[in-house]
Structure 1
């Protein structure tokens, strides 16, 4: 892979097998599988997706719910494996894909900073050094010893974003993370992401807001029913999507 290419997605297909009948419990599921009585329906979530992302680029991904945007980001992050094709990543990834990923709802915010930091590969000494910065950016200092399950989705998102961006990752992946935050915090997150981009971070960004994608990204991909409908300049792709 060329030195300046951070991500290469090559003819990627992702397949899921969905049970074609209802199973009410695990025991019934196991029995049906062993007796080969459970039928599955194949669902292709991504169909032949290919593109390259170069260092420092910002890419937006747009499309309707269920189009395959999140599946694509999970495949790039290594959470899902392609059924066909390949994904090659050159650099460290900080993925913000699902709210609560890497968090334990029964643990306090303080404890979750260390837990999530360890998941992202930070050392304990580094987390201690950055702890105040993380908490202040997330604006949750008054709730440090509250179990995370009592946080609103916006508070949890703020904490997750703050932890993931406390260092400059090679690649930052954001999937609808800003959708649950208030307007002022969205501006704060966008400012930090722009700072990371200025420092050479590569950004993959999913949002239902075409305007947000146009502000944050230079390039975009429109995904429709698992297929790449359009790729190119973010403004042009977003306008085509809005007018479809």
Structure 2
């Protein structure tokens, strides 16, 4: 059974299911041949099934599971990038998601322009962005490249700037999907320190990572998903143990 909290919820995930249709042909020629041979053209993949979770305000939750378990799909549902096929997801406050490296960045715009674009997408006004611009650039360590088109950025530069924009918004919920795996060790430590500060400020955090040491350090609660179903919800150390046990 999912855990609940007496504190008011920041995220409610109620009996959520999501499936995808997989195509088995890549071209019109393959489609025609498969149709002639009466082969199956598509199949359905159940990414999530019956997920029930309540996350209280200020909780830091690790979402654990191996590749293909449905973790990233669930984060995209919480962020609103995807819609569930069944059930509902409710969030309280402003959600900032770091779900895909460079998502929302326009390659032909400079880092400066992308800061304003992404911050606006996250709900910040122009005066708010102006007030925090220098902090965003300083934290990202982009420095002299801030006026360079982002198509010339490395993946690490993408991550640093995207993370910096997200954490300098007036966020209530932060969603992080593996992006902290990119970048050098000092920057990763700086990101973890900033996340701790946000948690101490009462922000809600949902993080997906294969770095079990990091999630054990940052999160108090862990949810384990296996093949689209939730198999554990409880203390993060027990969640890590459950994940490891599920491979045996």
TM-score between the two structures when normalised by the length of structure 2: 0.90
| C-alpha distance in 1 between matches for 2:150 and 2:218 | 29
1:40 is displaced (CA, Å) by 2.3
Is the Cα–Cα contact under 8 Å of residues 122 and 169 in structure 2 kept in the other structure? Answer: no
1:180 has 2:182 as partner: yes
Q: CA RMSD in A?
A: 2.2
**What's 1:90 paired with?**
92
**What's 2:20 paired with?**
16
Is the Cα–Cα contact under 8 Å of residues 46 and 226 in structure 1 kept in the other structure? Answer: yes
| C-alpha distance in 2 between matches for 1:119 and 1:90 | 17
| C-alpha distance in 1 between matches for 2:27 and 2:126 | 43
1:242 is displaced (CA, Å) by 2.6
1:81 is displaced (CA, Å) by 0.9
Poorly superposed stretches of 4+, deviation over 4 Å: none
For structure 2, list consecutive stretches of 5 or more residues without a partner in the other structure.
1-5
| C-alpha distance in 2 between matches for 1:11 and 1:214 | 27
| C-alpha distance in 2 between matches for 1:60 and 1:171 | 13
| C-alpha distance in 1 between matches for 2:196 and 2:121 | 24
Counterparts of 1:32-181 in structure 2, within 5 Å, are: 39-181=41-183
Is the Cα–Cα contact under 8 Å of residues 6 and 53 in structure 1 kept in the other structure? Answer: yes
| C-alpha distance in 1 between matches for 2:105 and 2:40 | 34
1:38 is displaced (CA, Å) by 8.0
Q: Structure 1 stretch 234-243 or stretch 200-209: which is displaced more?
A: 234-243
Is the Cα–Cα contact under 8 Å of residues 168 and 196 in structure 1 kept in the other structure? Answer: no
Q: 1:103 is paired with a residue of what secondary structure?
A: coil
**What's 2:3 paired with?**
none
Is the Cα–Cα contact under 8 Å of residues 16 and 43 in structure 1 kept in the other structure? Answer: yes
What CA deviation, in whole Å up to 9, does each residue of 1:26-53 have, x standing for no partner? x998xx99xxx98321111001111100
TM-score between the two structures when normalised by the length of structure 1: 0.91
Alignment size in residue pairs:
238
Q: 1:221 is paired with a residue of what secondary structure?
A: strand
| C-alpha distance in 2 between matches for 1:222 and 1:165 | 26
